[in-house]
Each structure stands twice: as C-alpha cells, then as structure tokens.
Structure 1
Amino acid sequence: MDYESAQSKDFSYSFCLTKDLNFPLRVRISALEGTREKKQFTTLLEEPSLKFTGLQTSDYSELYVTCQLYADNKPLTIPIRTSYKTFKNHWLWNEWLTIPVKFRDLPATAQLAFTVWDIYGPRKVVPIGGTTFRLFGKHNTLRKGKHKLFLWPDVEADGRDHTTTPSKVGEEDEMDRLEKLVKRYERKEMPRLEWLDHLAFRQLEKIHEFDFPLVFSEPEYSLPVVSMTPVNGQTQPTPLSSSSESNLVLIMDPEITGENPVEAKHRRLVRSHRNGSLDRDLKPNAKLRDELNEILKYPPTQPLTEEEKDNIWKYRFYLTREKRALTKFLKCVVWTDPTEAKQAVELLFKWVDIDLDDALELLGANFENRAVRRYAVSQLKKADDDELLLYLLQLVQALKFENISEKSSSSYESSLAEFLIERAVKNPILGNNFHWYLMVECEDKVVGKMYAKVAYQFMIAITEIPNGFQRRDILRRQGELVAILSSISKEIRTMKDIRPKKIDRLRALISDPKYGLLQFSPLPLPLDARIHVTGIISELATVFKSNLFPLRLTFSLVDGDEYPVIFKTGDDLRQDQLVIQIITLMDKLLRKENLDLKLTPYKVLATGSDHGLMQFIPSFSLANVLSEYNGSLLMFFKAHHPEEKATYGISPAVMDTYVKSCAGYCVITYLLGVGDRHLDNLLLTPDGKLFHVDFGFILGRDPKPFPPPMKLCKEMVEAMGGANSIHYQRFKSYCYIAFNILRKNANLILNLFALMVDANVPDIKIEPDKAVWKVQEKFRLDLSEEEAIKYFQNLINESVNAMFPQVIETIHKWAQYWRK
C-alpha cells in the first residue's frame, strides 16, 4: 500500500495511556448474588449471642465490603469500605469507592482485593468471602465494564500475586456466557436490534468509565542536568532549582545502603592473608604520612571514607606504633568477614598500649567483637582506683553493650563485668558506688534483669572474701536508710501544711525511735563511703522552699564533725549526677595542667529513679547576695573578708578564688550546654567560690528564649572591678587557657557521653543520636588554639552584652517574689 492510499483509509487509534491520567481510580460495588445459610441450632446453643447477629435476625443482614489495592505482594492503600446500609430484598450497594492512587501511578501488577464482612458478635466481624481482581488483562489493557467476581467463602481476600482467591474459576455457567456476549455486543461484533436490545439490557446496566481502552504505560522521566560548581577548590554539584525539580520523581533505591559487590570483592582480595606478609614492610611516603596523621586527629564521631579505611588497613603494621591509630583501624574492619576479623584480632596485641580514653571508646555500642572488648578491659586494668571511680558511671552503662545473657547462670561471659566486680570487691569505696549505680539500673524495665544478675554476682563475690558478710550487711543497712528517708520525704512533700509545719513534722519523724535515725552504728554514707555517719541531728533538719520540698539533713560523724546533705524525692538526679561527674573530671584535667580554677564539684548520688542524695555546700544564691548587699558582690566579700590595704578592700585570695571559679564554670557550662541559668541557681561562698547547681537543662536545652552562651551578668563583672580591670583580664585569660586544655581532652569527654546515650538521662534521651554531636560542636575542634581564643572571646562579649537575659532575670525575680 502506497502512502497516498494509506492516507485515504481511516486509521484512527482510540486508546489512552495510564501515564496521562492524573485522577484517582474509582470502582463501583454493585451487588452480591447468592444465598447464605443460617447458623445451626447447636452453634446458637454454644454461642447464644449469635441469635442477634447476621442472618439470624434478617434474611439480608447488614453486610459491608472493603476494597484494598495491592501490587507485588504489598498493599498500596489501606482498606476502603462501603458506607452503612440496610438491606430488605437483596444485597445491593451501587456505591462508588475512590481508591487514593492515580491511574498514572498504577503498576502493571495492580489488583484489587474485595472482602465482604458480616457481624459475628459484639465488636467482632467475620469475612463472608473474598476475591481478588487484576486490573490489567492481556496486552496490559485495563479491564473495564461490569465484572462478575467469584467470592471464595469464609476467607479474606488474598492480595498476593499468586492469590488463593482469584476472581475467575475454571467452571463457567450461564451468567458467564451472558457476560461474554455483552462484551462482544460492546465491541460491535454482534448485530444490533434496538427493540430487542432494550429488552435484553433492562436488567443489565452497561457501565463504561472510559470510551476507549486504557493501556498501561510507565511515565518516562528525563534525567536532570546537574552543573558542577567549584567550591573551596573542590568541584561540587549545584542543587537543582525548583523549576528543574517540577517533573522529577525521586525513587529510593532499596539497596543504596547495601554493600557494593564489586568493592566487597576488591576489599577481600586486598585484605586477604596472602597480602599480610607484603604489608608488613610497607611505609607511607611523606604525603600519605601527613594524611594519616590528620585522620588520627579525627574526633571519635567522625566517620572514615572508604579511601581512608583502605589506607589505614594498608599501613596497619606501620601504624601499630601509634596508640591513637588503633580505634581508627578497628573501624576499618568488616567484622562480618571472618578472615578480616581474624587478622584484626591477631594484630590487637602487637599494638602499642593505648590511652584510657581510647579504651573507653572500644567499650561503646559500635564495637561488638568480644576480643576487642576484652582488649579494652585489659587496658582499663592499668588505671588506679581513683581514676576508675571517675569513669565508673559510664563503665556500668557499657555493660548494656556486653550482650550478657539473662538466662545463663553467670555474668562472667562479660570481661567488663568480671573486671568491675573484681575491682569493686577489692575497694569498698569503688564497691559502694558500683552497688548504687547497679541498684538504679535494676529498676529499668528493659535491662533491669541483666543488671540484677550482675548485682547478684557482685554480692556472691563479696561474701567470698574476709569480712565479706560485714560488707554486704553495710550495703543492706544503706538500703534501709535510703528507704526510710525516701518514705519521710514523700510524706513531707505531700503534706498540705505550711513550711514551718513541715519542718516540725520532719524533726518529729527523725526523733521517732521506730526509725532509729537519731543514733545508729557507724555506717558509710552512700553519697560518700569515705564518710562514716552515726546519726541525724534532728534540730538541724529543715525543708527547702522548692516545689518538691527537698530535705536538708545533717549527719553526725564518728569524729564528732557534721556533714550536711540534701535528700530529694520526686526528681531524677541522674542528669545532675552525670554533670557533676563531668565537672569533677574536668577539674582533674585542669589541675593536671597546673590550673586550679577553684571549682566546687559537690557530690550527687541517684539512689533510685526518683530520689537521691546531694552534698550541701553552705553558700548563698547570687539573687540573695545582690538583694541584701545593694546589688554589689564586692560588699558581700568585704563583709566576710575585709582587708583595707588590698584592692577594693577585700582579701586578694578571695578575689583570686572568685575570678578563677567564674572562669571555670563559664567554660564548663558552655561546653555542656547548661541551660536555665538565673541568679537563684548560681551560688557563692564567703571565701569567693562561685558555683552552679540544678542541672535540669543541658546540651543546649533552655526553657527561656534566646539564652546567652554562658551566664555572665554585669554584676559578676563589676565584682572583678569592671570590664577594664586587671582581674577581668585575668578572668578572660583563665577562660582561654581552660578552653584549650579541655579541647585537648575532647576525645575522652566525647567517649564518656557516647557511653551514656542509652542511659535514662532526660536531656540525652530526647535525641540520643545527637547528644555526642552537641557536645563536640561546642569544642570547635576545627579551630587552631589562636582561633579558639578569638572564638571564646566573642562568646564572652556576647554573654556580657546580652540584653534579653536581663529582662528574663527581672521577670524571674518578680515570679519568685510572688511565689513567696
């Protein structure tokens, strides 16, 4: 046929592609045909409630139909159901259901799962039957028109590809024959007689959603053109503009996070045992050596690139002399590869001894290999008891990553648990804190049983040493003391009387002989086992004005001295406990560099999830001092430590202590992101020590808007002689030195926080995956020492000149006044 003759023919193609239809799929539920049998009498006897359900009450019970779209064995929508309807003569819905998927988004394997439901009992339904209907038939054409679907009795529709509830079965009846004739009639394959057709279709409704066939077709997506732009000397892709994104559909690759088989094979070949002898003598050139040194400076949170991992593995024997390199090397190992894991473990004990901060990192959640964790414990054994006590809180948390089985009879499958128990048994001070840290964790619903198992093994180990039963009895008596104090505290807190009445009741309870609090056998105080207490002095007991009404109790000591504490219920002290532990650690790190900033790391011990003990330091809040001494801290110092010949008329030692403590707490509270700072939770001692209390907000959280980087109000600066005084310059100098010293020890602090991510510390639990990052961000490890000094100088200036905190402080002051 030539071109001209083809033009004279009528070749009009009447079809549509699904990709061009931008509206949702709609189906109509017509009617249910067939009969149902009523329940047998014996069934009704067994379940009398069935008399009032389903066919028992009517020949046509109130059924409903659900429709759900499936594809590739997965549901694409939730079930969509017909509305409530009563039936009299037959089940007829004649109701349209809109499926919330557009035609253009339908896959070729799409099918509808229909289920008919009936009431079976109170708040219970059962399927009458189900059927599955494929949307696309032969040649990927949408199946249109009215369809009769076979209903599989008493089952829910199966939407899988190889469904057990197909809509068509092998046998055909007269209705199937009629259905085929109707379709032939629609395709104009049969002669038409108007009067006869009208009679034939009186009971058959012809439905056409489309006047022409719908053929499945996937949309074609054009790839975006991404321009490459140089940024900081490196070529980076330019982000797509909104116009270029308009026709772009992003589809997540399910294997994007999986292992690249090509790279995996390359890695296995490179890291095989055969290359081990070749790698022993490899040494990096100058350029590679500099790159490796930069990698060793990375903080523990920074991930390594594949190239960096390959270089570390390649020069692993060369790096065994670098103690900082071990943690980086172990991060390069693919522990699921037995050959690679074996090589890494063999190399462990050839490495030079690592520092304690790296050993702590190896006990974190990222290292599950038992040999690695045993190696980390072997490095911990070099620490003395005082150093171990500094990290004990985190080491107890690290037990969560030891995979200790709750079913086995011993916890000694964990090298860390065995080590901690051994050291806690030998040292009563260490054992006291270990016991109380375990007791708090035993209350946890998830890991409580595991910690109870470790606590049980600890008690067994104690009884096997000389005087072990006496040690165990001391821990029992401590538990009884805490239980009594907790009961008294809760009673005082729930009393509706005024504060003086609460104080009288507290003193009466302490004096009550049934509690035995006035005098008892010497007992190590749970808060500090170095202190042996013999009773509580009732006349010195009081109740604070705070909302939770904490108790101030004064213990009498063996040597006749006194030790005041605060006992608090209704509050979780684990966050305060963590902050004080970090402050204690930072104080030791600063002293190690001969910088004593006169910090006051008072002791805190959580004895339960909602009660605990705190050391009481006699002091005054800055709010009270400024109120009583006409807004001047200098007058406060002059009243307690006057010295006429000295600058400002106060003792130089007091001024030196004040300047140093201000600097220390400014740096530390900034690094820890301590929030909710006001003049009521900054305390001052007569000898010049300023310190912070109440750490309910850390890691950048703050209930007040626009908080400054640190609490440094103008009254604090004026007490140093003003912004131009030599004392203020010394204050800033101490801040810079302390900031850089702590930056050098950032890895240790970050590793301690990393071990706390699963602890029930409120401000860590909010975003556990970001907790370590928030602390790391404050250290600004990307800056040099000179840049860090300039950075902290700007922080100080920003804090001093901030106006909004002064407004908030005034509002807080009035709120406290009206509360009183």
Structure 2
Amino acid sequence: MEPFSFASSDSLDYPVRIRIINLEGEEAPVLFSTLLDNPNLRHIGSNQSPFSDLYVTVQVWAGSKPLTVPVQTSFKTFRAERRWGEWLELPVTYSVLPQNACLAITLWDLSPTGDGPYGHRIPFGGATLPLFDKDNQLHKGRQKCHVYRHLHADGHDNTTTPALVPRSRPKDGTPEDKDAAELDRMETLFKKHEMGEIPRVDWLDQLVFRGFERRGLQTARSSLKAKAIRQTEASRDDKSSAQNEKAKPEPSGYFLNVELSRFDFPVVFADYEYPAPPISSFQHLSSSQSNILLKPPPEVHFGPGISVDDDEGFEGRLIRVYDPEVGARDNPAESKHRRLVRSQHRNGILDKDLKPNAKVRDELNVIMSYSPTHTLSPEEKDLIWKFRYHLTRNKKALTKFVKSVNWLDHSESKQAVQVLGKWTDIDVDDALELLGPTFDNSAVRAFAVERLRKADDKELLLYLLQLVQALKYEHISTRPGHEVTHDSSLARFLISRAVHSLALGNYFWWYLMVECDDSSMDQGEETQMIYKKIAYDFMAELVKRPDGKETRKTLLRQAEWIAILSKISGEIKEANESIAKRVERVKHFLADPKNELVTIDPPLPLPLDPSIEICGVVPEDTVVFKSSLHPIKVAFKTTSGRKYPILFKTGDDLRQDQLVIQIITLMDNLLLKENLDLKLSPYKILATGTSAGLSQFVPSMTFQGIASKYRANPAQAYLKQNNPDAQGPFGMRKESLDTFVRSCAGYCVITYILGVGDRHLDNLLLAPDGHFFHADFGYILGRDPKPFAPAMKLSKEMVDCMGGSNSEYYRQFKQYCFLAYSALRKNSNLILNLFSLMVDANIPDIKLEPDKAVLKVKERFHLELSEEDAIRHLERIMDDNLNALVPVVIDKLHELVQAFRA
C-alpha cells in the first residue's frame, strides 16, 4: 500500500485566500411588462447592460455568525465579460477555522434609486461556499459556485444559497438532461487535470477544450430559452408567481468561478483542544484533590444562536455552559478502579518485598525527576503506591508518594502515615514542598517540620520568610484561650526556635507584624487574626525564658524607634517644600532630645540586622532624595564605632523587594556551596509594615551617574579612579576587575531567572571596590513597563568595562554565567517551592497571576532541556541582548525622561 500523506488544519498557519476569477452565464432580459409595473428596475445596472459593473464581497462565517469583516474586490469596468482575476486575503488563518466555516460570497449591483437595507447596493446574487467538504477535507483549487439571483449570501449552517449543489435526477419521470450531466462530468475531470491528477497531453487537451466550449454554449442557450418560456408563463399566472415568491430559492443560470489556495497534500480538519478554564475557587485543594488531572471540557454540540432539532425534545435555542468545577471532580468509574487496584496492595504484606524490574525502575526514575509543579497521572500514582516500601530508601520519592495517596480514604491515609515513619531523611526543599498549600494532612506537615528541626539557625533564616507564609495553610483556631501550638506543629516549631535566638526572634517578630498590619481584602480578617494570635503566643512563650523579658523590651523599643522614623518620614513626604528645607527639618527632628535618637541607651539591635547595635544618630549625614516618596537616608553610630547608613521609606510596599533580596541571598549561599564565589552583595531590606520599611544603604554610584561623569568607557574609568594600579589590567587593581566580572555574571543570571524588569542605568549600581548590584525590584516574573524589554540586562557599559565582547574578561564573564546557571538549575526545586509558599503573600507581581507565578520561574530554568542545551539557550539570550538596539533606546529614553523631570 502506498503511503498517504496529509496535513491537519490546526497546524496550517496560513491566511485564507480566494481568487475571484469570472462570472459566466446569462439570463433573459427583464420583460417590458415587468419594467412597466416596477419602473425602478430600469435603473439597475444589470438590467441595462449584460456586462454591467459589479463588485464582490467575501466574508468568513461559522455557526451562523460572521467570523471576520468582509473583504471586497477593487473597481473594474467590464466590456465583453465580467472577469476580475483578483486574489482576496481574509483576516483569518486556516489554523483557527472551525469545521463549519464557510465563505459568504455576494455580488453587488448598483442602483441610484436603491432604498433598501443596503442603500444603493443591490445584491446581484450570492453563494455560500463551505471551506471543508463532507469528508472534513479542505476545498482547494478552482470551484464553480452557483449564484442565487437577487439574494445575498447568508452564510448560515443551513444556508439557502449553497454554492455547491449536487445534481439530482428528476423524480417525475422527466428524461435526464444528458448535456448537463456530461458537462458536470467534464467539470470534474477538468479539475483533476488542473490539479495534476491527470497527465497532460497538449494537442489532445486543446481538442477537448474546444469541444467542451461548444457543448457548453449550446447547453447554455437551450437552458436560457427554456427559462425564458417558464418566466413568461409565470408572469401570466398571478397565483403561480405568488407561489414562486414563497418557494425556496433556486440557482440561477449564473456561475461564479473562484479559486482557493492549493496545497501539495490534502488538508484535514483538526480542531484545537482548548484547556479547561482555571478554577479560582479550587486554588488550594487537598493533596488528593490537587493532583487530579483536569478533565477536558465537555463536547458542546450547539453554540449560541444555533437552533436545535425538534426531535431531540428541545424547543427554541439551546446554550450549553461549561461548569469549571466539574473538571475537578473524580470520575466515579476511575475512582472505583483505583480503589480496586489499591485494595490488592492495601495490607502491604506482600508489598514490603516487592521490587521493580528494570523497565519499571526506569519509569519510577522518570517520575522522581518531575519538578514540584508536575501533576501525576492516576497510573503514575498507582505505580508509586505499589512500590511504596521500595521507595522509602529514596529521599526524592517522598513528595511523589504523598501526592499519590488518597487522603480522603481513611484506611489508605492511615497506612500512608505508617509508611512515612519508615522513610529516609529528606532534603529541605522537599520539606518546604510538604508545607505548601496543597498538603493539608497534619501528619505530613509534622513530618516536614521534623526535617526542619535539623537545620541550624543560619539555614533557617534563609527560609523564614516562606515559613511564616506557610502558617496560613495550617489548621489554626482563632478561638480565645486556645493556643496555636496545640493546632500547628509548624507554629510550635517556629516559636520554640525564635525564643532561643535573637536573630530568628527579631525577623520572626517583624514578619508577623507585617501580616498583622495587612488588612486588605486579599489577606482576610481570619488570616489576620491567626497571625495576631501567633504573635501573642510568641510573646507569651518569650517571657518564660530567663532573658525573655529583656528581649521583649528590645522588640517593643524597636517598634517605638520605627514609629518615630515613620512620623518624620510621613511629614517630609507630605510637605510642599524644597529638598534643602526638608533636609533641615529632618536634621532638627533627629537632633531633638525629645525623640531619643541622639543617644540610644542601652544600644538597640537594628531590626534590619540585629547583629548591629546602634547607640545614636548622626544628624549631619542626613539626606532626603528627590523621588516622589522622598525616602530619608539616616546614619546611625554603632557600638563598634562605625556608621551604619539606612534608607527609611513610607508609602511604598517593600515586601516584593524583600522577597527578591531574600532569594538572591539564598542563591548566593547555593553558589558558595558549589565553590562558586560571584562576589554578590545583596543589601538588606526589611518591610516593617505594608507601606513602610528599612533598607541598607550601600555607598555606590548608579551607571547613569557614572556615564554622566565619565564619557569614555564610564564604568572602567570609575573603577580605575577608585582602584588605580599601573601594573593591573586597564590601569586598575586586578581584584576590583575580577569582583566586577563575577558580580555582573551573578546578577545577570539571577535577575534573568527571577524575570526582574524595568532595568535601566539608574537601578544598576557600582560600588567603588568593584561590586556590581541591582536595586529597585518593582517588576519581577517577566513584567516590564517598557515594551520589547530584554530578558537579561547586559548593557554596553558593563561589557566595555570588561574590555569589549572579544576580551578575555568577557569570556570569563560568560563562563561564570554558565556555571551559575547550571548550579541554580540543580537547585530549581528549592527555589520553586519557596515561590509556591509565597503565592498568598500579597506580593504585587505574584498577586496578578498567582496560579502562574511558579510556572514563570520554572520557564526560566528550562528544565525540559539538557544542561548543554540550556547553556546554549542562555548564550543566545546574552548574544541577542548584547547586539540588540532596543535596550540602548530604552536607556536613552529613560535618561531623557529623568532629565525632563529634574
């Protein structure tokens, strides 16, 4: 059997095109008696001349509704025949066409006396041409369309103007018109000949064509004569004419020849399968429900406006609406099957010694490699349950096992808890996944907490922000007199660790205060009450410690210190004064002894960094910035004798910046574990409320400021001035250039993974010692206020400082980027789990699309690619950004806007 090739319509990304060739046929002139009865007919162009001017409109319809706007032919004058020979392109592609799509083709005449619904346009005739035939194949090549006189093409599914009418044999015993039958047969053969299905023989083809033309003219004349006789008889009989008006429209003697696009292979209709709509009310399901594969939407046979046949028992019109909640329910047959399958392995007597063969082992390894966002199929869940005892030795299999358990089944969940106790120690990233919103079983969450107990305070600080958010998914009662430690193993663990460590207690307290301060609709009053109750229990547990009362006083003094700074910051922001007057007011406020900032006794641990103790303020170092919120830079004296400058800002939610800095700090630790020191220097940020916060001030200069000061190779000139060395590369110390190259690589990769947007020269900073870093993380996860923004910010100034794109230092920079990207891809599960815990944290850019936040980060890792292909992809991004013109234009426009504002 010869191979048969075809294409599917959903993959045909090509516009629908049609060529209007010519109109053939003629009809008897309008009777003089008819013109006397209706004088307006004399002004219609086609009644004046057999070759009057016409134009054609084509429109795509489907489901008895138009899909596109109509497209029409250009103006043409005709002399001997009506021939256009013009291609029309419709604003739709074949890939999106439904199966019932058709072309509504209407020929339009003109009349100066026209007063109908179309004005001066008079429909000469119309035809509705389906784009797919009865076998769901796309029509192509030449088509001969029947024209229905005085009607426009309706485009309906049950059209009254079908362009392709099958020839039917007469039923009343009338002999069949042999000439017409022969013409139909020849038309079919001509089409095959034109498509190349019949071999070409030039001399024989010419003979056949001439004979066909003669036969066609003879048949047309005879049919025209017969039609004129019928028309005369109908005009004499008033009753007959009235019946003809009510009769179904019939094809006229006119045919419109058109040509559709040709393709080498048959094109078969294939519909695009749309995914089920998102289920907003089912965002946080239980473990057993969250992993159910959403069923595809049910098949909808009748859309809006489509009449239903009476034999189905419906009257009028039917509109079927898809209920998205149905997609999250179990199929009863599948659920019964799963219960029967698992009942064979319920007792576990035989399963304890069950081991997979080589093929099954490979399947299990593939399942274990899935990312945390992957949804397991029912078959994969059954396979994991079957070999659960064998998998207890695999630490990466625990989260997959928990997802495969039906926690609504009491006996199955009871045995699953017993299996959990036999599992080997798991990693922190898996423990964090078990604390996410999709796992609500208390035994599972308690197992994850037990793993966290093995982490030291330094490691726990890296995840503390997410662990505080995970408290939202605990079953905590807000009843008065009911301690949260009785309900939540996670709350009990965090409180016990926070009261033993000043650093943990400091950050834990302020993270709780921010959640208590959040009274937005997204947070909810119930969640706010939970955090207030946790904060109360934390303080109650703290005072039980020997030094707990002093720690409690310290936290309260920090709150008072924040309130004092908030007061002056609010006044400065609202004051309508010059910058100089604002600075003088802040200095006077700080120097006032009543505010107790000149001398802080005893020294106060800084909320931003409790390892730093401040003992007074330095009013003369105060700066007020020009931005709309007017943040204040204040320097404090520390017990070590140094100054610690901070930025205090009110009116801005710093929780998103706080999250990004925390992730950067975590990534820096992950890279250091891989022996890759990229000299990252993430400054500290602490949100003290939903609209206020502290930020560490790092002495540095923006790339915009450097570029305005040094014209030629500004970043290199800046480093050379601060780190001169005649023997070093480019006249600077080698250590400074190495720091710059490494930190550039680290921040380029990290900001690419996090999708940090709004990157311009004003939020790229460079410290005098060569440390490069980013600031202002108001746009993350791919959001950017500027169009065509690059995926990675790699400016010309950065590359020029390394000696250009062909230098040895730029090659080192690329190698550092590749090493960092590979190392972070290995830890992608940890990063994805941290973001999944922040879904309900009221972070602006996560809140926009909470169900896609984790997926956006996952896309940047390109986990579907091998390590080599992923590095090649990253290199293409870097090369495209380096040679792109758009980032340069964006930086110039930003510079102009800032200059205009100044």
TM-score (norm 2): 0.64
Q: How far apart in 1 are the matches of 2:375 and 2:510?
A: 36
Contact 1:489-1:550 at 8 Å conserved across structures: yes
Question: 1:631 deviation in Å?
Answer: 4.0
Structure 2 counterpart of 1:281:
353
Q: How far apart in 1 are the matches of 2:873 and 2:690?
A: 39
Contact 1:411-1:457 at 8 Å conserved across structures: yes
Question: 1:540 deviation in Å?
Answer: 0.7
Structure 1 counterpart of 2:380:
308
Q: Deviations over 1:132-187 (max 9, x none)?
A: xxxxxxxxxxxxxxxxxxxxxxxxxxxxxxxxxxxxxxxxxxxxxxxxxxxxxxxx
Contact 1:326-1:351 at 8 Å conserved across structures: yes
Describe the SS at the equivalent of 1:539.
strand
Structure 2 counterpart of 1:621:
702
Contact 1:279-1:317 at 8 Å conserved across structures: yes
Structure 2 counterpart of 1:261:
332
Q: Deviations over 1:107-150 (max 9, x none)?
A: xxxxxxxxxxxxxxxxxxxxxxxxxxxxxxxxxxxxxxxxxxxx
Q: Which amino acid aligns with 1:618?
A: P
791-800 vs 404-413, which moves further: 404-413
Q: How far apart in 1 are the matches of 2:536 and 2:737?
A: 51
Structure 1 counterpart of 2:471:
399
Pick the aligned partner of 2:613 from 520, 524, 532: 532
Structure 2 counterpart of 1:436:
510
Q: Which amino acid aligns with 1:351?
A: W
Q: How far apart in 1 are the matches of 2:330 and 2:783?
A: 38
| 1:507-522 mapped onto 2 (5 Å cutoff) | 507-521=587-601, 522=603
Q: Deviations over 1:661-681 (max 9, x none)?
A: 110000000000000000000
Q: How far apart in 2 are the matches of 1:753 and 1:258?
A: 27
Q: How far apart in 2 are the matches of 1:349 and 1:670?
A: 40
Q: Which amino acid aligns with 1:493?
A: K
Q: Which amino acid aligns with 1:410?
A: E
Q: Deviations over 1:505-532 (max 9, x none)?
A: 0000001121111111101000010000
Query: What is the percent sequence identity of the aligned residues?
Result: 56
Q: 1:393 to 1:256 in 2, by over 3 A?
A: closer
Q: Which amino acid aligns with 2:492?
A: E
Q: Deviations over 1:324-345 (max 9, x none)?
A: 0000010011111111111111
Structure with bigger RCO (C-alpha 8 Å, 6+ apart): 2
Describe the SS at the equivalent of 2:353.
coil
Describe the SS at the equivalent of 1:532.
strand
Residue 364, structure 1, aligned to residue 436, structure 2 = yes
Question: 1:375 deviation in Å?
Answer: 0.7
Pick the aligned partner of 1:462 from 542, 559, 562: 542
Structure 2 counterpart of 1:741:
823
Pick the aligned partner of 1:757 from 839, 842, 865: 839
Q: Deviations over 1:221-271 (max 9, x none)?
A: xxxx98799xxxxxxx9xx9x999997986647755322222222222332
Question: 1:647 deviation in Å?
Answer: 2.1
Contact 1:573-1:606 at 8 Å conserved across structures: yes
Describe the SS at the equivalent of 2:484.
coil
Describe the SS at the equivalent of 1:721.
coil
638-647 vs 656-665, which moves further: 638-647
Q: 1:483 to 1:227 in 2, by over 3 A?
A: closer
Q: How far apart in 2 are the matches of 1:726 and 1:752?
A: 37
Contact 2:302-2:320 at 8 Å conserved across structures: no
Structure 1 counterpart of 2:802:
720
Q: How far apart in 2 are the matches of 1:256 and 1:464?
A: 51
Q: Which amino acid aligns with 2:537?
A: Q
Q: Which amino acid aligns with 2:539?
A: M
Pick the aligned partner of 1:569 from 650, 663, 666: 650
Residue 703, structure 1, aligned to residue 774, structure 2 = no
Q: CA RMSD in A?
A: 2.3
Describe the SS at the equivalent of 1:351.
coil
Question: 1:563 deviation in Å?
Answer: 0.5
Q: How far apart in 2 are the matches of 1:614 and 1:228?
A: 54
Pick the aligned partner of 2:406 from 308, 329, 334: 334
Residue 580, structure 1, aligned to residue 661, structure 2 = yes
Q: How far apart in 2 are the matches of 1:572 and 1:563?
A: 23
Q: How far apart in 2 are the matches of 1:364 and 1:303?
A: 15
Contact 1:709-1:798 at 8 Å conserved across structures: no
Structure 2 counterpart of 1:545:
626
Structure 2 counterpart of 1:411:
484
Q: Deviations over 1:438-469 (max 9, x none)?
A: 00101233211110100000001110011211
Structure 2 counterpart of 1:776:
858
Q: Which amino acid aligns with 1:437?
A: Y
Contact 1:368-1:402 at 8 Å conserved across structures: yes
Contact 1:631-1:715 at 8 Å conserved across structures: no
Contact 1:758-1:765 at 8 Å conserved across structures: yes
Q: How far apart in 2 are the matches of 1:245 and 1:453?
A: 52
Q: Which amino acid aligns with 2:483?
A: S
| 1:30-179 mapped onto 2 (5 Å cutoff) | none
Pick the aligned partner of 1:354 from 423, 426, 430: 426
Q: Which amino acid aligns with 2:853?
A: A
Pick the aligned partner of 2:641 from 555, 560, 572: 560
Describe the SS at the equivalent of 1:276.
coil
Q: How far apart in 2 are the matches of 1:339 and 1:259?
A: 19
Q: How far apart in 2 are the matches of 1:572 and 1:228?
A: 46
Describe the SS at the equivalent of 1:452.
helix
| 1:606-685 mapped onto 2 (5 Å cutoff) | 606-632=687-713, 633-685=715-767
Question: 1:659 deviation in Å?
Answer: 0.6
Q: 1:631 to 1:611 in 2, by over 3 A?
A: farther
Q: Which amino acid aligns with 2:766?
A: L
Residue 494, structure 1, aligned to residue 584, structure 2 = no
Structure 2 counterpart of 1:421:
495
Question: 1:808 deviation in Å?
Answer: 1.5
Contact 1:625-1:631 at 8 Å conserved across structures: no
Q: 1:227 to 1:525 in 2, by over 3 A?
A: closer
Name structure 2 gaps, 5 residues minimum: 1-63, 66-267, 273-295, 309-318
Q: How far apart in 2 are the matches of 1:323 and 1:733?
A: 32
Q: How far apart in 1 are the matches of 2:327 and 2:499?
A: 50
Describe the SS at the equivalent of 1:566.
strand
Contact 1:646-1:652 at 8 Å conserved across structures: yes
Structure 2 counterpart of 1:39:
none
297-306 vs 243-252, which moves further: 243-252
Q: How far apart in 2 are the matches of 1:736 and 1:659?
A: 13
Question: 1:788 deviation in Å?
Answer: 1.0
Contact 2:342-2:382 at 8 Å conserved across structures: no
| 1:220-239 mapped onto 2 (5 Å cutoff) | none
Q: Deviations over 1:23-82 (max 9, x none)?
A: 9xxxxxxxxxxxxxxxxxxxxxxxxxxxxxxxxxxxxxxxxxxxxxxxxxxxxxxxxxxx
